[in-house]
Amino acid sequence: MEILRGISVAPGVAIGEAVVLEAEDYRIPYRTVPAEEVANELSRLASAFEKSIDELDKQAVWLNAHLGHDAANVFEWHIGVLKDERLRGSIEAMVREELAAAAYSASTVMRKYQQRFLQMSDPLLVERIRDVQDIERRLLRNILGEAREDLAHLSKPVILVAHDLSPTQTAQLAETKVAGIALDAGAATSHTAILLRSLGRPGVIGLKDVSSRVSGGDLVIIDGSNQLIIANPNEATLDEYRQREMAFVRLADELDELKGLPATTLDGHRVYLCSNIEFPREARVGIAKGSDGIGLYRTEFLFLRPEGAPTEEEQYKAYVEAIRGADGRPVTIRTFDLGADKYTQQRSYEQERNPMLGLRSIRYSLQNLDMFKVQLRAILRAASHGQVRMMFPLINSLMEFRQAKMTVHDTIEDLEETGVQVRKDIPIGMMLETPAAAIQVKEFCREVSFISIGTNDLIQYLLAVDRGNERVSQFYSPSHPAVLHVLRDVVQACTQSRVDCSICGEMAGQPLYTLFLLGLGLQTFSMAPANIPEVKKLIRLVTMAQATRVAKRALSFETDRQVTNYLRDETRKVLPEDPI
């Protein structure tokens, strides 16, 4: 039994056999096995060799039949290397003598050879490194477990274990029987984490080396509520978790009963809880969970697919699907937020040195006006199907907002010229997610229809912390007093100017901050649908006077730790039985 700790992306318990995704280009960390496991490790190694050779033999037969023997011969040396007894002997010796794990031993030996080829003067021989890497990858995949192409055809629920997942890969998990996820990499607010959260399946990320510690077929427990995973649990632990799995289902049912009830405080103050969605079909899911609308539709996920940018018609259909899914409730569509870790980096020839401070979000849209206008046309056309608002991401200056708004008006004119009637009065707002925008909030209030606070980026820029960097992500804290003060100032300015203000970052869905945000006077929260029931439960158990008092007190602390402790205590008073 082995327990690993990480960062939770979604609460809950999942139990299943592990499927380990192919290790790409990263180092397998050093791991030893107990002496009594050596025989197992060696047989794991032997069958990995056998399986690899078998795969290549089959591939060679296929290539020979379809492309001729020249193509088949490419892999002849690969097979030769896998049958090389001396090579296999040195890997086995490492397992036997150093008690090193099979995957680590194989990787170490193969990498020593890669180094040797690297030093050669003949460029053709240096190319051999690619072959050695290819052989290494195949071998590791067969040591560590299943391949990714099998994910779509799973016959039973499994736990997916991987080094990292791209947002695109994560999106594809929606259609699979993956019950829980464990990743080496990741920080709580990375886009992969956001997507995993919206999948609503228990997951733990930032586990550092889970993908080499767990092998395909191992029984794994994901405990998303306690931010840990357990590999090969003992009988007692497994029993305990099977019961917790049941309890979790019961809690979900209990929260489910709240879905028809409004998020109203004990003293009758109505709060609107909307959902953040990435895919149009999630709109319906959110409404089913009792959400009051779509507070943030992240349209960039339409663009994160192998075929590239969607056409106007494809976008139109997606927006209409989301609007219909919302069933008459308000839908706030955010124009694509591309750049930084999404989309643009893969497509630019020159990678940006500091993409989070680079060409992203509205900056990218304004420099790619053709692409931007295609989206605006699709949104404007779709807007006639419901109660739609439009907002721009990462607005940092008034000029940017004006230019984006002007582009919308140009697009409306273009559409009208071609005989398409659209709503000219569509509300146009902004995401407030930079310190500059927060400082100028009063000026913005004169020009925008509404403001939605994006806490993820706001916190990252305010605290100068890369939320995706595991080495500093512990400094990324919504409890930082500076964050609380900025939020108060923004909400105050909006209230004074009578501009509708909502919050849509991860913070909005964390019960720990519900009382504080409510106490500031925020009336609209947008979050992952999975978080709605618990936040609603909390709001229904407090009064505005109580929340105002909590917010005021929270603003009086000097450190984030004090803030967190205080908010946790106050939240526990209201929800003593729930883990916060």
Partner 1 sequence: MSDAEAQAVREVKIGNTEGLHARPVMRFIDVASRFQSKVSVMNVTRRGEKVDGKSAMQMMLLEATRGCVLRIEACGSDAAATVEALAALVESGFHQA
Catalytic residues: 191, 504
| Among 24, 50, 57, 76, contact with partner 1 (rule: CB under 8 A) | 76
C-alpha–C-alpha distance, residues 278 and 321, integer Å? 12
With contacts defined by CB under 8 A, name the span among 40-48, 73-81, 425-433, 532-540 that binds partner 1.
Answer: 73-81
Question: Can you tell me the distance from the alpha carbon of 444 to that of 447, in angstroms, rounded to the nearest whole number?
Answer: 5
Q: Find where tokens 């519900």 sit.
A: 514
E-state strands within 360-480 = 388-392, 428-432, 450-453
Cβ atoms of 64 and 71 closer than 8 Å: yes
Q: Which stretch binds partner 1 (CB under 8 A): 72-80, 161-169, 220-228, 367-375?
A: 72-80
Dist CA 228 CA 6 (whole Å)? 6
Q: Which stretch binds partner 1 (CB under 8 A): 77-85, 186-194, 533-541, 561-569?
A: 77-85
Secondary structure in 3-state letters for 24-40 = CCCCCCCCECCHHHHHH
The minimum distance between CB 313 and partner 1, in angstroms, equals: 50
Residues 78-107 that bind partner 1 (CB under 8 A): 80-81, 83-87
Residues 109-128 that bind partner 1 (CB under 8 A): 113, 116-117, 120-122, 124-125, 128
Contact 466, 482 (CB under 8 A): no
Closer residue to partner 1 (CB): 57 or 84: 84
Residue in 164, 241, 157 with CA at minimum distance from that of residue 201:
157
Q: Smallest distance, Å, CB 78 to partner 1?
A: 9
Positions 121 through 160 that interact with partner 1 (CB under 8 A)? 121-122, 124-125, 128, 131-132
Among 32, 43, 73, 311, binds partner 1 (CB under 8 A): 73
24: tokens are 């790409």
Query: What span, in angstroms and rounded, lies between the C-alpha atoms of 529 and 202?
Result: 14
The nearest distance, CB 84 to partner 1, in angstroms, is: 5
Mask for 363-402, x = binds partner 1 (CB under 8 A):
----------------------------------------
Nearest to 449 by CA among 330, 297, 280: 330
**Residue numbers 487-546 binding partner 1 by CB under 8 A:** none
Closest approach, Cβ 122 to partner 1, in A, equals 6
CB of 144 to partner 1, least distance (A): 22
88/363 with CB nearer partner 1: 88
CB of 110 to partner 1, least distance (A): 9
Nearer to partner 1, 52 or 176 (CB): 52
> Which among 278, 310, 313 has a CA at the least distance from the CA of 294?
278
C-alpha 190/C-alpha 167 separation (Å) is 9
Number of residues assigned to the chain: 580
Residue 131 or 489: which CB sits closer to partner 1?
131
Task: Tell me how far apart the alpha carbons of residues 173 and 199 are, in angstroms, rounded to a whole number.
Answer: 8
Q: Binding to partner 1 by residue 418, rule CB under 8 A?
A: no
Give, in order, the Cα–Cα distances in Å from 267 to each of 273, 514, 520, 531, 543: 17, 16, 16, 23, 5
Using the minimum distance from each CB to partner 1, give the nearer residue, 112 or 485.
112
Nearest C-alpha neighbor of 223 from the set 380, 77, 513, 14: 14
Which of 54, 313 has the CB closer to partner 1?
54
How many residues bind partner 1 (CB under 8 A)? The answer is 21
Q: Which residues between 244 and 263 bind partner 1 (CB under 8 A)?
A: none
Distance CA 284, CA 321 (A): 9
Beta pairing class for 270-277 and 524-527: parallel
Nearest approach, Cβ of residue 256 and partner 1 (Å): 59
Shortest distance in whole angstroms from residue 58 CB to partner 1: 18
Could you count the other beta carbons within 10 Å of the beta carbon of residue 568?
14
Residue nearer to partner 1 on the CB measure, 129 or 415: 129
Question: Would you tell me which residues interact with partner 1 (CB under 8 A)?
Answer: 73, 76-77, 80-81, 83-87, 113, 116-117, 120-122, 124-125, 128, 131-132
